[in-house]
Structure 1
């Protein structure tokens, strides 16, 4: 029996069959399913004729536009300035690095050239020191030979007596001069 708050609706038998299938599928009574359908359309404000759900599409499109607008704003306010600053910083670092490399390479070249010059001068100095050492050695040998000749001259002259002829004295002087000139 119908109460005063209940109403009945007439609809074709084919719709009734569809309603029965839906109720069985979802495990509800036909009345519960019907009330939930009405409540769904009431709350979502959807038009049951709108099979493609244009309201949902429009809502999604609006949300998408809002999201894209937000991204573009972030891009303009944050991303583009950050990228510009990073590009500027990278270029600045590149210039600093190039300048640094150029100065370091020049300094290294100068250092290598100076080292080569120093090595050459050390080699020349070594040659001069060897020559000086050789000359000092030769000088010492000459001194020793000269002292030997002088001592021989002195001993021989001391052996001469009063009776030694001038010719012998002259030969001794000539022989000593010859030995000194042979040095």
Structure 2
């Protein structure tokens, strides 16, 4: 290694290494996007702080850290299982049993429920019959109402024809020919026939 002095009083040293190491260093620096000198300084700093041996491929500290994190993760899962998953499963099982009981009750799985369901069916059939009778009564009432309205309308038209006849007849004098009187009577009868 060589030392050199610069204007900023930094001491630079040179390390010689083979071409393969140089190529590896270049690839690392390119991948990280930093100058080789900075990457080298960071590598030295890393090994200094972590107290790791670069020859130790089986990094015990890393293994221990991963193992500890794995244990923590498994512990977290077990806690969640005990606190959440098992109680949720119990509640879901209980709900399923309750739903089955309700379904059995509604479908009449036992004898008592069958009689209740039969009574309910009879009541529904009676209600349907009652509804049908009511619908027929309402229809009949509508028909009667329509006929009554038609009858009133007929009376009003007849009154109009009668009043028209009386007015015209009163307008005739003693000298009105019989032919006009008969014509009035014929027109009045024709109007009544059109009703």
TM (norm. structure 1) is 0.47
Q: Which has the higher contact order (CA 8 A, sep 6+)?
A: 1
Which structure would you say has the larger Rg? 1
